[in-house]
Amino acid sequence: MTAEAQQMIEHITRIMRRRGVQIDENTPLLSSGLIDSMGLLDALVKLEEVTHMRIPPGKIQPKDMDTVALMFATAQRVGKPGK
């Protein structure tokens, strides 16, 4: 696992609805109810911070962000270099 992925997992663990649940890169987050849509936005801000990318609005769907692995793949696919 990369250091960036580890940072994301630590951040998401802090904002999860249920405490004490272990997650990894492939744990479903929004679809399993571990985070809500506000939590997804928190995760998105963190993703932009760790990847130094800007994710354009309107180009992604929650299913593209449902796991940490998918978040990085989405950032790679649609992200633009941040300012």
Q: Which of 15, 22, 63 is nearest to 43 (CA)?
A: 15
Contact pick of 2, 6, 26, 59 for other proteins (by CB under 8 A)? 59
d(CA 16, CA 12): 6
Contacts of 15 (CB under 8 A, 6+ apart): 35, 39, 42, 43
- Subset of 28-47 contacting other proteins (CB under 8 A): 33, 36-38, 40-41, 44-45
Tell me whether residue 1 or residue 43 sits nearer to other proteins (CB atom): 43
Contact residues toward other proteins (CB under 8 A) are: 14-15, 17, 19, 33, 36-38, 40-41, 44-45, 55-62
